[in-house]
Amino acid sequence: MRLRMVWLSVIVGLSWMLVGWTNPPAPADAEVPSKWQAAQGKALTVRLEPSKNKQEAVSDVVITYKPDVVLAYGRAKFHLPKGFSAVAGDLINGQPLTADYIQNGGQTVTLPFGVDIGAMRIFELRLVGKKLPSAGQYKFRAEYWGIGIGIYNTAEAVLELRN
């Protein structure tokens, strides 16, 4: 019983410390070409590398998600708009994505459960060498759910492609 109280005190103390911890601001993105715009939500960003500025060009699509959960054991899920899809060999945090994580014909990527402490976990999904769809607005969505403090978070970002 005493050990349980000690662990509870440690967890509560860490939780309060982490809630008060402020993360440094993310570096500003480089200047964006006029033909497309980088999309940025509260915790979700979408950018093209290299920044090709014409439709049907080939570019990496980089989707970065920071769920801002304080202390949790959870998983992240990316929802891609029509015109974009993930395949085995695309990258998640620099590692090849396997077919086990890909659902709905590449429109959804679900990552396995993991521990998140202090709002430090960042997920980067890189769709490698994709042919960009026609001009328009494309809404990307990510969500995080788990067990702990800050157990559910969702974010959206819109990528606008122009002619």
Q: What percent of the chain has pLDDT over 90?
A: 45
What secondary structure letter does DSSP report for 87?
-
Torsion angle of the four alpha carbons 30, 34, 40, 46, in this order, in degrees rounded to the nearest 10: -80
Nearest to 123, CA basis, from 144, 106, 148: 144
Question: Given 2.60.40.3490, 3.30.565.10, 3.40.50.2300, 3.40.1190.20, which CATH number is that of 33-161?
Answer: 2.60.40.3490
Is pLDDT at 104 greater than 50 in this prediction?
yes
In tens, the pLDDT along 23-70 reads 333 333 433 333 344 455 558 999 999 877 567 789 999 999 988 777
Residue partners of 10: CB distance under 8 A and separation at least 6: none
The pTM (predicted TM-score) of the whole model is 0.72
10 in helix, strand or coil?
helix
HEC sequence for 103-134 = EHHHCEEECCCEEEECCCCCEEEEEEEEECCC
Among the ranges given (71-75, 132-136, 158-162), the one the predictor scored with the smallest mean pLDDT:
71-75
Separation of CA 37 from chain center: 18
| pLDDT attached to residue 24 | 35
**Domain range list for the chain:** 33-161
**What does the angle CA 80 – CA 85 – CA 91 come to, to the nearest 5 degrees?**
95
